[in-house]
């Protein structure tokens, strides 16, 4: 349907194909970068988990949402608390194997968010706070 509308508007289909190919290649490049972690992020006050990819750069957590990657968030993190997901969270994260949730507190303490990933990425999710983290 969208192709028909674009064709009626005079947009060449080859231009649309190039745009889609660019999005696919950008997404693949982001997933293959060093230190990439496939995550789900829930901002404070939000009800839904956003799928995407995250990476640590020193104590800044960079997150880019999928699939189109329109949203990018850079957060200066001051504290990370790791925990198992609650029952309601576990149901929303049912597509992750052995999910683990980390609560990130930002430097200014006015913003916090939750990040979930598989249990195999637990250490990568802690990033620079992995060496100071003590299991509870």
Instruction: For 2-18, write each residue's pLDDT tens digit.
Output: 767 877 888 888 887 88
What is the Cα Rg of the chain in Å?
18
pLDDT band at 100 (very low <50, low <70, confident <90, very high): very high
In whole angstroms, what is the distance from residue 27 CA to residue 79 CA? 29
Q: Model's pTM, two decimal places?
A: 0.74
Q: CA 76, 78, 79, 80: dihedral to nearest 10 degrees?
A: 20
Cβ neighbours for 72, distance < 8 A, ≥ 6 positions apart? 62, 63, 64, 65
């Amino acid at each position: 349907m969208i192709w028909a509308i674009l064709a009626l508007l005079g947009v060449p289909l080859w231009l649309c194909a190039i745009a889609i190919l660019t999005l696919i290649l950008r997404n693949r490049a982001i997933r293959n970068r060093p230190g990439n972690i496939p995550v789900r992020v829930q901002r404070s006050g939000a009800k839904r988990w956003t799928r995407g990819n995250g990476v640590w750069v020193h104590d800044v957590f960079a997150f880019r949402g999928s699939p189109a990657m329109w949203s990018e968030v850079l957060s200066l993190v001051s504290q990370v608390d790791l925990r198992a997901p609650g029952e309601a969270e576990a149901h929303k994260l049912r597509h992750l194997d052995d999910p683990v949730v980390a609560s990130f507190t930002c430097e200014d303490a006015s913003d916090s968010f939750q990040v979930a990933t598989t249990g195999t990425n637990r250490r990568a999710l802690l990033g620079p706070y992995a060496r100071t983290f003590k299991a509870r």
